[in-house]
Chain A
Amino acid sequence: MDTPHPTGAPATPPPLGEHLRSPRLRAAMLVQQEALHAARAFLRGEGFTELLPPLVGPVTDPGGRGAKALDVDYYGHPYKLMTSAILYKQASLRGFPRLFYVAPNVRVEPEETATTGRHLVEFHQIDVEIADGSREDAQEIAAGLLTHVTEHVWTAVPEILRELGRIEGDFADIRAGKYDVRTHDDAVSALLAAGHPQNPDGEIDWAGERLLSLESDRPFFVNDYPKGSRGFYDREDPDRPGVLRNFDLIAPHGYGELVSGSEREADYATIVTRMRESGENPAKYAWYLQEARDGMPASAGFGMGLQRLVRFLTGLDALWQVSAYPKLPGVVAP
């Protein structure tokens, strides 16, 4: 499998009409359609129920890495467009112990992410949550989902993938379900050894993640991110304070992160404390904290970036090439 190959495409999208008429977008959308079909079939087969996610709310995922939620004036109340529906996933668990969304999300990402090839302001996630699940349960579903979707697209539309320059043999590891696992600590050490100035207390930065992804021939999980790099809902390891029971799934050959997931905090007092640790005002999370007080099930879950998945399958350079209506960070687009 090669690295994202140059397609001679400009770094930013052409005018929307031209983009929508391009054969390359058509090919990507046919792959996306098959990927969505396969994802739904796989998750339903695993006993998950699909719900449709909310679009606005008094709070949304506070997320991280400098992205901002868009504000909405909702009958005079300051509401947010969903950056992710994680809080609603947790709240749904008592009625729907295994659920998923194909969720549209909006994040006003910092302009510096416009050139990563991996960020769009509007994007979609296949968003999965498992009541009483562990990190390992979530990773098993995430790996199974990626394997199943890959298998399906190579069965359903192999000629499209070949025309885009993809080589079937390069997906053999994924189709055979072979995934590696490493820890955040180990990833930081590898990056520092390679001369990359990675902050050990934080998220793996974009350039570092690309380096790790380029070095690998098969997808791999990164476990145990430090507290302070992720949202308040990622559960802290009770045996290792400061370490979160979470993970990313990184695609090989430079395509980078496809999935973020974790076990979730479900204990009310811990959630309030973790909110303060991430600088949040608990008062604005009133409805969610009431759910936590009433007893929210423990859970684990993840979000798989749909456009990132399709970019990986198609081998295209940039996320905007696999979005019909792309909005790049910092670029005002229709």
Chain B
Amino acid sequence: MTALSTPGFPDGAIRARARNGTAEVFPDATTYGTRLYGPSAGALPADSLDRARIVPPVFMPQRLEKLIDLAREPEFTDVDLGSRVGGFTARLPLYLSAFGSTRAGSGDLAVHASRQAARLGIPMVIGENMIPVHGYRRAGDATRSALLARVEAYLDAAPDGAGGVVVQQSTEDADSEVWNLLYSDPAFRPLLETGRLAFELKTGQGAKPGLGGMTVVDRAEAEQLARRFTVRKVLDPEGERQLRCATPGTFTDEILRQQLRFMRNNFPKARTWVKFHPGRDIAHAARTAWSAGADAVTVDGAEGGTGWAPGVFLDHVGLPLAESLRRIGRPEGCLLAAGGMWEGGRAVRALALGATAVGLGRAALVAVDEDPEHGLERLVDSIALELRLLISALGKYTVAALAPEDLWWPDGHPSHLAPADAPPLGVTDPAGATP
């Protein structure tokens, strides 16, 4: 375990799951019979998504269907968590989010997380700015970059036919031709040949909507990077530590549409993903991406991000994930949601609001920090168990069967105020609709 800390995030609970896995889904079993349990103190919801309660019905026609199918009473272990995530086959409705080029996200922890994501059979996203910052393969000594180390770790451990690797490219990456570089690199051949490579067009991020990537660099790094990035002395007067900024890139709906077509044209064997920050026009953006052929649209709620960001952005900018999902309404394609995910309850809420899968970012880093060998696997095991418990409790047995009817908003979540141009959410029984 290192000194990695995550203020405002349930660090202790994640570390406990990384140590103990599914045991942490439950209260301490040794206290059974000696303690009365209730909601934990200070468990105030982080955002409106967490205010929704998951509400099983009494009558469960889908459970009857499963009963007929199985010729026995269905159990929570009968829930099928297998999903198609952005054109990949995933064993769970989860993926490993991008960590970016920050120090915490590009060292050994990221390699450990990659290996475990592969063993779990879930896709992995590798963040932008890895190559302009860390290099790829230095001429002469064939030193492998952070990016290649992660891909190799993933390939070594990935089961046949499951998972996939997704690589982002920012404006600065485009100068380094990251996608072209990878697409013609023999190291990526095993991924291309098995249909397990995707490129993700990143238009923004949850932690700082409207801004590009930011990291802190020392004076020497600052000088080295100054030609490719904006580097500013805003952290101390002498510039011992400096702020390195990437540009967010300019997008209109036509620019997005054409960039996606360009990706599909240039890299026909790679899947095409798009990541949006939680912008107020997120529904328009998502529809534009799907109609241009994107295999997945990732929405990073304002709760998301592992990276460095100005405090005013962390606390005040961007739509919460719940509102982003509400504005999108019924997705016209694969929708991926990230931001503050670490346990099954929030994941089920996001899935019920239309997501196909949810991303683990900070939580994955904390878990591998707790136990580099198996921390992420145990954390995911615990989430998978909760998903099975929750989905079966709703009388459903696949992830895709989840719907907004499975949630109740105590303070009148505005989901019934769906945008006029959005199709109605998948509510079949008006009596079960959200209030």
Q: Which residues of A contact B (CB under 8 A)?
A: 64-69, 78, 108-112, 199, 201-203, 205, 226-229, 273, 276-281, 284, 329-330
Contacts and interface: CB of A to CB of B under 8 A. Distances in A.
B29 interface: no
B184 A279 contact: no
A276 B249 CA distance: 8
Interface of B: 169, 171-172, 174-175, 177, 179-181, 183-184, 186, 189, 192, 201, 249-251, 254-255, 257-269, 292-293
A280 to B, nearest CB: 6
Contacts of A226: 261
A209 to B, nearest CB: 13
A277 B254 contact: yes
Contacts of B264: 199, 201-202, 228
16 contacts: A64-B262, A65-B265, A66-B180, A67-B180, A68-B180, A110-B183, A111-B184, A111-B186, A199-B264, A205-B268, A228-B262, A228-B264, A229-B262, A276-B250, A279-B169, A279-B201
A66 B183 contact: yes
Contacts of A281: 171-172, 174-175
A64 B266 contact: yes
A65 B262 CA distance: 9
B255 A66 contact: no
A279 B175 CA distance: 10
B261 A229 contact: yes
A66 B267 contact: yes
Contacts of A227: 258, 261
Contacts of A279: 169, 174, 201, 259, 262-263
Nearest to B249: A276
A125 to B, nearest CB: 20
A319 B184 CA distance: 19
Nearest to A73: B139
A201 B174 contact: no
A78 B174 CA distance: 13
B121 to A, nearest CB: 26
A69 B265 CA distance: 17
Contacts of B261: 201-202, 226-229
B265 A111 contact: no
The 5 closest A-B CB pairs, nearest first, are A228-B261, A277-B258, A68-B180, A202-B265, A66-B183
B184 A199 contact: no
Given A64-B265, A66-B268, A68-B181, 14 more contacts: A65-B265, A66-B180, A66-B266, A67-B184, A69-B177, A78-B175, A112-B192, A227-B258, A228-B262, A229-B265, A276-B250, A276-B255, A278-B259, A281-B174
Contacts of A199: 264-265, 268
B184 A278 contact: no
Contacts of B192: 112
A330 B268 CA distance: 18
Contacts of B260: 228
A201 B268 CA distance: 12
Contact of A330 (B174, B184, B249): B184
Contacts of B184: 66-68, 108-111, 329-330
A281 B227 CA distance: 14
Nearest to A241: B254
B186 A330 contact: yes
A112 B181 contact: no
A237 to B, nearest CB: 15
A204 B67 CA distance: 50
Contact of A68 (B177, B186, B262): B177
Contacts of A278: 258-259, 262
Contacts of A228: 257-258, 260-262, 264-265
A111 B263 CA distance: 17
A279 B247 CA distance: 13
Contacts of A276: 249-251, 255, 259
Nearest to B201: A279
A69 B177 CA distance: 8
